[in-house]
């Protein structure tokens, strides 16, 4: 494989130096790369590398090392010079961003063989900065799960389906509204006892149950925890003098 055998397609609008997202078109198929790129006079270093591409192509480490040498030979300059000097050697591609939508909190996990560079492109289309997408996906791969607020989601199901096609499983990570009265009824406690046991203001609890106000996100999270694991809430509220909060 020679430098003239490959074509580089850079997502120029969303790449943020030193974090790059680009496709490498080779005779064997298309490889997608996402990472923090450092380029010198005779070397190319990609840190926290994410690799995706044609599923039928087996990109072993030997092949990847060879491809890295070919890319370094093809470019051999810094990021700004890539854009200014190389013309046909690096083709740029615009990414159309979603123009309107609402922020959504998601948990992300992945399947074997997930195409994380494509997942990054999907998230960036929803106005998540590429560097943030790279960091979140790196955390997901390292720890099995990561959490992110996607800034501009116009169609949640479409986003989840797109990520699923890239091997990334997205779930909404925010509490749904819950009936305060049903939670309390499940405990068989009066309003007065319920509010004391779970650290709630009695007047606020009454307003929730009578529909005069609604729990915010934090209160909904507490109510779901009471519904699922009331003992944990009770234990977390049992304080003793001199007991410090847990260290990070």
pLDDT digits (tens, 9 = 90+) for 178-202: 899 999 999 999 999 999 999 999 9
Q: Say yes or no: 72 and 120 in one domain.
A: no
Number of domains in the chain: 3
Please list, in sequence order, all residues whose beta carbon lies within 8 angstroms of the beta carbon of residue 205, skipping any fewer than 6 positions away. 180, 184, 191, 194, 195
The stretch 41-55 carries a mean pLDDT of: 70
Closest CA to 95 of 123, 54, 71, 137: 123
* Residue 201, domain CATH: 1.10.260.40
Of 127, 152, 172, which one is at a domain's C-terminal end? Answer: 172
Residue 245 lies in a domain: no
**Which among 55, 76, 93 is the end of a domain?**
93
Q: Where are the beta strands (DSSP E) in 73-182?
A: 90-93, 102-110, 146-153, 168-172
* 242 is a domain residue: no
Across the strands, what pairs with 107?
A: 147, 171
pLDDT in tens, 123-181: 999 999 988 999 999 999 999 999 999 999 999 999 999 999 999 999 998 888 889 99
* Cβ–Cβ under 8 Å, residues 136 and 108: yes
Count CA atoms closer than 13 A to 242's CA, side-chain side.
0
Q: What is the mean pLDDT of residues 197-224?
A: 93
- Domain coverage including residue 114: 102-172
Tell whether pTM > 0.85.
Answer: no
- Co-location of 149 and 86 in the same domain: no
DSSP structure class, residue 241: T
Domain boundary among 62, 93, 124: 93
Most confidently predicted of 8-17, 73-82, 228-237? 228-237
pLDDT digits (tens, 9 = 90+) for 62-108: 666 666 666 666 665 443 333 333 444 455 566 788 989 999 999 99
Residue 71 lies in a domain: yes
Apex 26 CA angle, 16 and 11, nearest 5: 20
- 128-140 pLDDT per residue, tens: 998 899 999 999 9
């Amino acid at each position: 494989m020679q430098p003239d055998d490959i074509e580089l397609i850079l997502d120029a609008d969303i790449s943020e130096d030193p974090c790059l997202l680009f496709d490498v078109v080779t005779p064997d198929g298309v490889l997608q790369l996402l990472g923090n790129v450092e380029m010198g006079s005779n070397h190319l270093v990609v840190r926290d590398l994410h690799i995706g591409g044609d599923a039928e192509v087996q990109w072993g480490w030997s092949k990847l090392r060879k491809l890295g040498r070919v890319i370094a030979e093809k470019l051999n300059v810094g990021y700004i010079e890539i854009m200014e000097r190389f013309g046909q050697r690096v083709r740029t591609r615009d990414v159309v961003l979603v123009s309107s939508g609402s922020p959504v909190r998601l948990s992300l996990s992945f399947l074997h063989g997930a195409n994380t560079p494509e997942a990054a492109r999907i998230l960036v289309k929803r106005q998540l900065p590429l560097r943030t997408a790279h960091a979140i996906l790196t955390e997901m791969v390292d720890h099995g799960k990561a959490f992110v607020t996607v800034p501009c989601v116009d169609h949640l199901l479409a986003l989840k389906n797109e990520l699923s096609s890239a091997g990334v499983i997205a779930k909404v990570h925010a509490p749904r509204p819950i009936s305060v009265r049903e939670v309390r009824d499940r405990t068989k406690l009066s309003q007065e006892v319920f509010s004391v046991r779970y650290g709630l203001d009695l007047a606020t609890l009454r307003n929730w149950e009578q529909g005069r106000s609604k729990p915010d996100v934090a209160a909904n999270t507490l109510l779901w925890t009471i519904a699922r694991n009331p003992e944990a809430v009770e234990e977390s509220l049992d304080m003793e003098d001199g007991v410090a909060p847990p260290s990070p």
